[in-house]
A and B are shown apart, each in its own frame.
Chain A
Amino acid sequence: GQQVMQIPQYQHVQEGEDFTTYCNSSTTLSNIQWYKQRPGGHPVFLIQLVKSGEVKKQKRLTFQFGEAKKNSSLHITATQTTDVGTYFCAGLRNQFYFGTGTSLTVIP
């Protein structure tokens, strides 16, 4: 089936460093959503991007949707220990296809 690839699978950063996770689809997506799942928890919705080239910011988080609507990225500036968790993208075609997630560890 349709897959949304997400890299990297794991990322360890020192507190204060930046972090980026990337999602790529082989086909055009209608929109893309991003979720955060804390260890032992359930995914929590962060944001939805719909338009080609769209950029949205939430405090230290910046989300981008590619011009071709096939890729997206989440960038966190100056990570904090509260950013720990797994970040998933979910691209929509006929249904949502979740990426495999990027597990972020922040070292104090």
Chain B
Amino acid sequence: DGGITQSPKYLFRKEGQNVTLSCEQNLNHDAMYWYRQDPGQGLRLIYYSQIVNDFQKGDIAEGYSVSREKKESFPLTVTSAQKNPTAFYLCASSIYRFNQPQHFGDGTRLSIL
């Protein structure tokens, strides 16, 4: 079945540590997105990529980095510069650009030890 796979489902980070969240899709979608979901705040866009080797900052990109070396993969690194990383992270993809339905993965829940 086609879909989006996020791993791991749960992740724990120590203070000062970088961690990378994986997102893989086999839908042949051009666009991919990373969102952060906090209780009562809905989804906020961290980064998005419309094509390979290109990505753009969303509203809350500070403390995060991404890469898009392959169409299928869009990993997100939460760096030590992100002061409040505890959240639920959702990866999504769409056929192209923003005006298409977004398909979401099951998410990664990141917690600080």
Contact = CB atoms under 8 A, between A and B. Distances in A.
Contacts of B44: 98
B58 A98 contact: no
A95 B98 contact: yes
A99 B42 CA distance: 6
A1 B102 CA distance: 21
Majority-rule SS of B interface residues: loop
Chain B's interface size range is 20 to 34
A98 B99 contact: no
A42 B3 CA distance: 13
A19 interface: no
A52 interface: no
Interface residues of A, number: 24
Q: Which of B35, B43, B90, B101 has the most CB of A within 10 A?
A: B43
Interface in B66-113: 90, 92, 98-99, 101-107
Majority-rule SS of A interface residues: strand
Contacts, number: 51
A42 B41 contact: no
A63 interface: no
Q: Which 4 residue pairs of A and B lie closest in terms of their CB atoms, listed nearest first?
A: A45-B101, A42-B104, A98-B43, A98-B42
Interface of A: 1, 6, 9, 30-31, 33, 35, 41-45, 48, 50, 88, 90, 92, 95-101
Interface of B: 35, 40-45, 48, 58-59, 90, 92, 98-99, 101-107
28 contacts: A1-B59, A6-B42, A9-B40, A30-B99, A33-B101, A33-B102, A35-B102, A42-B90, A42-B104, A42-B106, A43-B43, A43-B90, A43-B92, A44-B104, A45-B101, A48-B99, A88-B42, A88-B43, A92-B98, A92-B99, A95-B59, A95-B98, A97-B45, A98-B35, A98-B42, A100-B41, A100-B42, A101-B42
Given A95-B98, A97-B45, 20 more contacts: A30-B99, A33-B101, A42-B104, A42-B107, A43-B90, A43-B92, A44-B104, A45-B102, A48-B99, A50-B99, A90-B43, A90-B102, A92-B98, A95-B45, A95-B48, A96-B45, A98-B44, A99-B42, A100-B40, A100-B42
